[in-house]
Amino acid sequence: MTRRVVAQGTFDLIHPGHVHYLSEAAAMGDELHVIVARRENVTHKEPPVLPDRQRRDVVDALGVVTEAHLGHREDIFVPIERIDPDLIVLGHDQHHDADGIRDALAARGIECEVERASARDPRYAGELLSTGRIVERILDARADE
């Protein structure tokens, strides 16, 4: 039996933290499906700079990803129902409440485990593991030019 895993996120600028998260999620099953949030649904932080389809295409090109999907415009659980995962892996620092997700899945009759991925510590001085920090570094560097 195939164990299907779902990971999700914004993935505006792919960085080593994303690679760690997706690699860890992929190791938990046989297939890794990634749901890429639509720009209009990103309300907990600055919206992504890159278009939805471009972010989906970049995630889909990663070797550990079986298939990347765009999130649903109105209901975040629609792609989960379609993919029918055995496990949802949340990023270590994602704002989602794991128990709230479990409750919502149960209310919809979706039997699925929910776990959190581990954090990836920087491996060298100056390594950035945050899209926001990468954008800040770019803006700072360009402001000095």
Q: Which residues are annotated as a binding site?
A: 10-11, 15-18, 93
Which parts are annotated binding residues for ATP? 10-11, 15-18, 93
Structure tokens at 83: 């993919």
Asked if residues 28 and 66 have their Cβ atoms less than 8 Å apart, the reply is no
Q: What value, to the nearest 5°, has the Cα angle with vertex 75 and ends 71 and 79?
A: 45
Residue 110 to residues 6, 14, 53, 61, 103: CA-CA distances in angstroms?
13, 30, 27, 28, 10
Write 75-81 long-range contacts (CB < 8 A, 24+).
76/35, 76/41, 77/104, 77/105, 77/108, 77/110, 79/35, 80/6, 80/35, 80/105, 80/110, 80/112, 81/108, 81/110
